[in-house]
Amino acid sequence: MFKPVAAHEVPDVWEFVETGLQKILERCGTHTFTTRDIKRHLFQGRASLFVRDEGFVILEKCQEALSGEPYLNVWLMWFKPGEAKKIKPELVSWLDAVRDHYRCMWWEFGSPREEWGAVIDDVATRHITTWRRYR
C-alpha cells in the first residue's frame, strides 16, 4: 500500500523521489515544474506525497475553476518500469479511496505520455484536451 509522507519526512525519501522526477522530466520534456518546485509544494503542504517500493504518487486537492467542484489532481506518478500495470487494480482502488476521503467529485491525471492509457483508459474517461501557450 502507499505510505503517506509528512513534510518533515520528505528528506528521508527525497533521493528516491527526485530520481523518479528526473526520469519524468527526461521522458516528457516538460518545463512546467522543477524538482525544487515539487519539494517546495510538499514542504508547504500544497501537495501530498505517497510512496511505496515500486514508486510514488504526488496528489493535490483542487477546485474546478468554473463549477467550484473539488477534485483530486494526480499531479505526478512514477513507478519503476512495468510496475504500474502490475499494481493497477490496487492503484485505482487507492485513488478512489483517497478521492472519497477528501470528498472530491473526481480524480484526474494528465500526462503527455500515451503509455499511461494502458493503466488508466479502462477505468477513467479522457475528458478534455489542454492547450497551453508559452512565451
Q: What is the CATH number of the domain that holds 110?
A: 3.40.630.30
pLDDT tens for 27-67 read: 877 667 889 999 999 999 999 999 999 999 999 999 988 88
User: Does the reported pTM lie above 0.75?
Assistant: yes
Q: Considering the chain, what is the average pLDDT of its residues? A: 85
Within a domain: 69: yes
Q: State how beta strands 107-108 and 70-79 pair.
A: parallel
pLDDT of residue 60: 95
Residue 9 three-state SS: helix
Tell which residue, 82, 85, 79, has the closest CA to residue 20. Answer: 79
Within a domain: 99: yes
Range of the domain at 69: 3-120
Q: What is the number of structural domains in the chain? A: 1
Within a domain: 131: no
pLDDT of residue 39: 96
Q: Are 12 and 23 in contact (CB under 8 A)?
A: no
Q: Is the pLDDT of residue 111 over 50?
A: yes
Contacts 24+ apart (CB under 8 A), 92-95: 92/120, 92/123, 94/1, 94/2, 95/57
pLDDT of residue 116: 56
Within a domain: 116: yes
Phi first, then psi, for residue 73 (nearest 5°) are -90, 120
Distance between CA atoms of 113 and 54, rounded to whole angstroms?
Answer: 19
Confidence of residue 4 (pLDDT cuts 50, 70, 90): very high
Give the mean model confidence (pLDDT) for residues 12-22. 96
Give the mean model confidence (pLDDT) for residues 13-34. 87
Q: What is the CA angle 42-32-15, rounded to 5?
A: 45
Within a domain: 129: no
pLDDT of residue 132: 47
Burial of 41 (C-beta count, 10 Å sphere; 0-12/13-18/19+): middle
Q: DSSP class of residue 80?
A: S
Distance between CA atoms of 57 and 23, rounded to whole angstroms?
Answer: 14
